[in-house]
Amino acid sequence: MPGEKAIIFRSEPSEPLRTGPEGAGTHVLTAPTPAAAAALAVEFVERGVDTVELCGATGYPWAAAVEAAVGGRARVGTVVFGFESLLDVAEYKRRASAGEALRELFLYVEPGADPAVDRFVRSEGASTSQFVAVPEPAAGAAVAAEFADGVQLIELYGEWGARDVAAVIAAVDERVPVGAVAYPKPTRAPSPAALPTA
């Protein structure tokens, strides 16, 4: 499975879902806690996944737990939001915490995907998430524009350059918060000489 990635969403456990071609597919997974996400990441890394991405509802504490668990065997990233999205994503979080029915769009890069066909919906409680695979980040803006009036959050998974993320933000006219996966530099374990001796 080298070249495959796992996307872990903060949610109650559900059946894993795999999309895409062999060797370049995407595993959509759910975990309720950082420890559960770390265990799931290890399981899929041991199956050969080489990239693990975490949804925007997790953040750096989750990423740190997953990074420590996989021990450098996979890249670990997490969705973050730019300054232009901060107020709207805070409002989204408030509404989600209050149990309101919300709709999200998750775009993920999968070579050879057809966005018109390679899409699926998952529901949890009152909320609905639309997943759409795009063959390259440049295709994301058109899909975002299609959904702009019906979603309250957009997250981008895979390798998205600044221009491609900016194109998605422009396509929704900054009316919807847009987050994209960032890959922090892996934390290095301290050398033995740097550890306290007493």
The full set of domain ranges for the chain reads: 5-185
Count CB neighbours of 172 within 10 A. 19
Count CB neighbours of 195 within 10 A. 8
Residue 138, C-beta contacts closer than 8 angstroms, at least 6 positions apart: 164, 167
Half-sphere exposure of 172 (CA within 13 A, CB side): 29
Structural contact between residues 140 and 160, judged by C-beta atoms closer than 8 angstroms: yes
Query: 35-53 pLDDT, tens per residue?
Result: 999 999 999 999 999 999 9
Burial of 163 from C-beta contacts in 10 A (0-12 / 13-18 / 19+): exposed
Instruction: Please check the confidence at residue 171 and state whether its pLDDT lies above 60.
Output: yes
Residue 29, C-beta contacts closer than 8 angstroms, at least 6 positions apart: 6, 7, 8, 9, 16, 40, 44
Query: 65-93 pLDDT, tens per residue?
Result: 999 999 999 999 999 999 999 999 999 99
Given this model, what pLDDT does residue 193 score?
47
